[in-house]
Every structure is written in structure tokens, then in C-alpha cells.
Structure 1
Amino acid sequence: MREFLMDAWLSALGVTHPVLQAPMAGVSTPAMAAAVNAAGGLGAIALGASDPAQAGAMIAETRARTDRPFNVNLFVHAPPRRDPVVEAAWCEALRPAFAEQDAEPPAHLRAIYPSFAEDDAMLALLLEARPAVVSFHFGLPDAARITALKGVGCLLLASVTSLAEAQSICRAGIDVLVAQGYEAGGHRGVFDPDVHDDRLGTLALTRLLAVKADRPVIAAGGIMDGSGVAAALSLGAAAAQLGTAFIACPESAADAGYRAALMGEGAAHTVMTRAISGRPARCLPNRFTTLGAGLSVRVPDYPVAYDAGKALNAAAKARGEVGYGAQWAGQGAPLARAMPAGDLVRAIVAEM
């Protein structure tokens, strides 16, 4: 096995292999994070869709399973712009799909969770819990929140999709950049989903940031095995972050329909869609992505649209239909392997 020098910040966390498990809301679990840690990687849990009580319980469970540091992830999206006309039109556009499931769309949509940018209760929880690593997706919290988290010893990571975003993150004092290529599964980490997206791939973005940004870089997007990790390191990344690779692990919270879709033919044909949540996200092709592609009405802002998406998925699952889920996956999905998370990390390391 080729040996790679570990960055000091990774060594300080007790990480022995430059393999990070992505924090995936609805998929990653404390058991997954602990298994990745035990294999020498850095595990993660996703708190962005949780309230402080749920987040506190997840942190406590993860700490009960591992005595090593792990990453906790927050969503820092701009607060949604509420427009009752747009929201009503969206629900009406979804009405036929709800009717197929013998259900009605919601009468009113909700912003189903707040952004960390305005969630004081979540900040208070983190300042008390003092997780070793805190990461941000969709943007950055304000300077006061960054200063407070660094003041209690948190190492801060943030997703970026461009050099401009990376430069703003460096100015804000974030410690490590997560270079999310367009290949990545799940939500695109762009700060503003309504501005032009250059759609940089993982290879180009990782090398660009390694040369141009004065921060360690973690490569993320389309990486599924040791060869992919080694390639990222050769481009100047300090580590690679893998998400889709862990979905089929038994520690994953993905349901049976999601797992079957990941292992099916559609894995080779992932698509970007806003229809499910209101933000661009890479998904396995399913009934929801097909539905969204055929609708011409404006999608409400994230996470308001997600309220309708989750309601439609719940109605469909109650009737045995699994094609309306948020089945996020990256372009490397056909390389997914169903094995315990710790074994997967060890296999990746051997492949490097």
C-alpha cells in the first residue's frame, strides 16, 4: 500500500487514514460514524435537519459508541423567501401525484427546519457539547458564531463549489475547505442556488483550491474507492470525503427502496433536481425526478418545498410505492458496495 503523509490537523484528531465519511441527513448514523472512526477514518453525523433535542441525542449516542472525534454538520442556507402564491401553485402542480396515492397535498407549506444562521438554540447546544469538528453546508454562519465555535475548540470545515466561495470562507476564518464537485450526491453546496453555477468537477475544483486557496482541501464528489482517494491526494487534497459509498452499509439509515435503487440500473443515470427539496440535489432517477422534470411552475425555496416532497413520499410509501424518496447519490453510484462501514474503510485503504 502506498503511504500518504497525514496533515497535522487530521493526525491531531486521531485520524490514521485520509478517508472521511460524509455527513448525510437521513442516511448517516452514530453507528456509521463510530464504525468509520474505529477503522481509522473520520466519521460524521448530520444535524441540519434535526432540532436541538434530536441533535443532542445524536451527539450523545455517537460519543457512547466512539471515544474519538467526529464531525457534526449544519445547514447554513439563506432563510426561505415565502410566497403564498408560489407555494399554492406548487402544491396544485403536485396534486395529481398525491391523488395517485389517494392523498391530498398540504394545505400550507412550512419551513421544516431553520438555518443554523438563525438557530440560537442549536448554537447553544454546540457550545455546550463542544464537538471536535463542525462543518457547514450551503454557506457560512456569521462571524460571531464562527468565533464562538472556535472559542470552544471546534475545528471548522465548510463546503465550497468554486474558488470565490473558497475565498470567502478563508476570509471568514474557516479551517478546512470541502471541495464539492458537481459529481457529488445530495444537495449541491452552492451558497446561492439562483446564481450561475460553473459546475466544476471534483478533479478541477480540488486542484484549483489546492493551488489557489490557503487552506487544507478535502475532495468530495464521485469518489467511491481507494483509487479515487489516491487520485484526490495526488491533486493536493489532504483527504477525501465519501458519501454515496456508505449508503449501502448496514449502519446506514437508508430504507430498502433506496438501497434497491442504488444497486439498480438507475445508479448510472443520476440527475440533478430541485423538485424534491427546493435546492439542486443529485438523485437516483425515480418517479419524483421524472415528475419534477415535467413541471413548469416555480419550485418554492428550500426547505419549504421539502415539506411537500416529504408529504408526497410519506403518502406513497404508505401504499408501498418507494419512488418518491430523496434517494440522493453521486455519479460514482454504480461502484457502491454493501458491506459494513468499517470494512469499507479498510477496503478503501487497501486499494490506495
Structure 2
Amino acid sequence: MFDGLKHRVVQAPMAGTSTPELAVAVCQAGGLGFLALGALDAAGAAKAIRAVRQGTDRAFGVNLFCHAPARRDAAREAAWIDTLRPAFRRLGAEPPAALSEIYPGFRGNDAMLSVLLAERPAIVGCHFGLPSPDQIAALKGAGCSLWATATSAAEGRSIRDAGFDAIVAQGYEAGGHRGIFDPDGPDGRLDHPALVRALVPLGLPVVAAGAIMDRAAACMAMDAGAVAVQCGTAFLRAPEAATLPAHRAALSGGQTAMTRAISGRPARCLVNEFTGMDDSGAADYPVAYDIGKALNAAAIAQGNAGYGAFWAGTGAAASVARPAADTVLAISP
């Protein structure tokens, strides 16, 4: 797979901002485009995959969320609603009375598996953990190459032992949701060069991810042992991305923080109203995301973009507004 790439640049799958058009542009430029399917249902996933196929005959990947079901706790959820109630009221709104688990994971999602087996994307990537053994066997039987995100050597060993083909080494500096398997477990918070070095001895190809914004950073990752680099924030200002105008504008500030307040899982976001909150009482993922989205909608209705899920890595200020193809060429080691 990597030998077939003209440029060892992988476009990160970013739910909500990456698009079929972005994946096509990256593939056509000689990189590897990805679709984020974690926030889509099976029908939406099939439509997105077919849209990419209409734009390119090159290989691309899809990415899925493999989190465990939310641990429902009525008292904790009610307390989190009460924590956010003052913010709603400042915006002239009321929070929802109850919360829902808005994003089902891939595990046990037979409809999504059926789409993947029918469409057979070249790569199926996994975030937040791993699929079931039966799903892994089915995808491998369909000829899909399997990738998964690791934030530690222990997770990397689990990925290798499950029969995967590549590991995405997500450094702590990376934007968006941390791919850690257990969000309540220990986190060494390794940057991507240190994590790559820890994962390379496992024997699988390692793709480095985390604030890689230019060729110098890409070369550093390759020197650490990575076979390719995965970039997300670097593509947020591309015209092919669905990044909201307020998100694009906020990138210039560059300040980011890790927070659970938006979704219930740690995620790196541009500093905003959410990142200043005490997130220790947040409801579990993705239940907290239900009210996080509701609060953002209430804010947007008042012309306030301060509660957006503006995911970005620590290199956000270095992002450049340019076509995705130009970003591939600018970063390619």
C-alpha cells in the first residue's frame, strides 16, 4: 500500500470536516485520502464511499469509531446537564431534559459491516479501539487492509496481535479525539516521534500523526521510523474541506487544549468556552456529545461560535489556506 503512494502523506479522517472531495483531491495528488464514517449511518457511509469512487480510481481509506457502548449513569448525566444549564440560559435556551447515545460504535454494527464488505475500500481504519474478531476476519477476508490508532506501545501490541496491517501513532499533540482505547486509563502523553520509536519494534508499518504541518516535521517523523505521516489540521483550510468559517478563522490563534467537556472523551480543541470548563463530571462518550452539540446550536442561533467543536492540533497556527493537493506537495517528505 505505501509503495504505491507517490507521496507518503495520509489525510486524516476528520468527522464533520473531511469530505469525499477532500479524499479525492489528496488521492489525485498522490497521497492517501480517507473518509470519516464514525458519525455516519450505513446509508451515509455507502454514499460517501461511492462519491470518492466517482472522483478517483486510486486507493483510499475509511475510518470507524470502535468505542465501547456508553456507560449510562442517570445521576451523572443529570449533574452534567445541570453543569451546562447556566451556559444555556445565558444564551436564552434550556438544555435537553435527557441525553442520547448519538454515535453507535462499529462493534456489533452489522449494517455498517455489510456496507464495507460490499464496497471493499482498500483500507479500513479504526479509532478508540478494535472491532470484534468476527468483524476483523470478515474485513480481512474481503481484502481490506486494516489500520488502527495507538497512543501507547500496549495499544500497539493489541493492534498487532489482532492481525492488523499498520498502526497510526497518534501523538498527544494531535488534534481531535484522542484514540486511546480506555479514556479513563493511564496516558503517557507521548509526542509522535517518541511514540513512533516505541511502536516500530512491534514489526508493523507505523504512520505518524500529530501536528505535522510541513516537510521538516514529516522528515522528522520518518527519521523516527514512520513509513508515512497522517495530517489533519494541515488540511482544515483546504477549499475541499467542510471546515466552518468560524473554525477556519480560529485556527490563526493556534492555542489548543485537551478537553472532555464537548464529547465525553479527551479531544484536542482550539481554546474556546468549552476548554475553560471543569470537565471532570462530563457524561460518558458519546452521551456528552449530545448536549455539547445542543449547546453549540443554541450559541450559533445567537451568533456565538464559542462552543464549536473546533478540533485542531498544536500546529494550528501554521495551517495554510490552499488546495489540498498543494498541502500534499508541501508536506511530502
TM-score range, shorter chain: over 0.9
In the other structure, the counterpart of 1:330 is 313
In the other structure, the counterpart of 2:136 is 146
The Cα shift of 1:223 comes to 0.6
Write the distance in 1 (CA, Å) between the matches of 2:37 and 2:92: 33
The Cα shift of 1:151 comes to 0.3
Deviation per CA, 1:75-111: give whole Å up to 9, x if none: 0001100011111111111011111111111111000
In the other structure, the counterpart of 2:274 is 288
Write the distance in 1 (CA, Å) between the matches of 2:93 and 2:292: 13
Q: CA RMSD in A?
A: 1.0
In the other structure, the counterpart of 1:4 is none
Q: What one-letter code is carried by the residue in structure 2 that aligns with 1:93?
A: T
Q: How many residues align?
A: 333
Q: What one-letter code is carried by the residue in structure 2 that aligns with 1:228?
A: A
Please point out which of 167, 180, 184 is paired with 1:177: 167
With normalisation by structure 2, the TM-score equals: 0.98
In the other structure, the counterpart of 2:330 is 347
Write the distance in 2 (CA, Å) between the matches of 1:71 and 1:130: 10
The Cα shift of 1:214 comes to 1.3
Please point out which of 163, 166, 178 is paired with 2:156: 166
Q: What one-letter code is carried by the residue in structure 2 that aligns with 1:251?
A: E
Write the distance in 2 (CA, Å) between the matches of 1:274 and 1:83: 16
Whether the aligned pair in 1 keeps the contact of 2:7 and 2:329 (CA below 8 Å) is no
Write the distance in 2 (CA, Å) between the matches of 1:200 and 1:226: 21
Ranges in structure 1 where 5+ consecutive residues have no aligned partner: 1-8
In the other structure, the counterpart of 1:74 is 64
Identify the structure with the greater helix proportion. Answer: 1
SS of match in other structure, 1:208: helix
Write the distance in 2 (CA, Å) between the matches of 1:103 and 1:340: 39
Q: Trace 1:240-319 onto structure 2 (pairs within 5 A).
A: 240-263=229-252, 265=253, 267=254, 269-290=255-276, 292-293=277-278, 298-319=281-302
Deviation per CA, 1:144-189: give whole Å up to 9, x if none: 1001001010000000010100001100000000000101000011
In the other structure, the counterpart of 2:190 is 200
SS of match in other structure, 2:148: strand
Ranges in structure 2 where 5+ consecutive residues have no aligned partner: none
SS of match in other structure, 1:24: coil
Please point out which of 2, 6, 19 is paired with 1:10: 2
Deviation per CA, 1:292-314: give whole Å up to 9, x if none: 23x66x11110000000000101
With normalisation by structure 1, the TM-score equals: 0.93
SS of match in other structure, 1:289: coil
In the other structure, the counterpart of 2:216 is 227
Write the distance in 1 (CA, Å) between the matches of 2:159 and 2:314: 26
Alignment identity in percent?
58
In the other structure, the counterpart of 1:113 is 103
Deviation per CA, 1:240-269: give whole Å up to 9, x if none: 000110011111111111111012x2x1x2
Q: What one-letter code is carried by the residue in structure 2 that aligns with 1:145?
A: Q
SS of match in other structure, 1:166: helix
In the other structure, the counterpart of 2:38 is 48
The Cα shift of 1:347 comes to 2.0
Write the distance in 1 (CA, Å) between the matches of 2:88 and 2:40: 26
Please point out which of 213, 217, 227 is paired with 2:206: 217
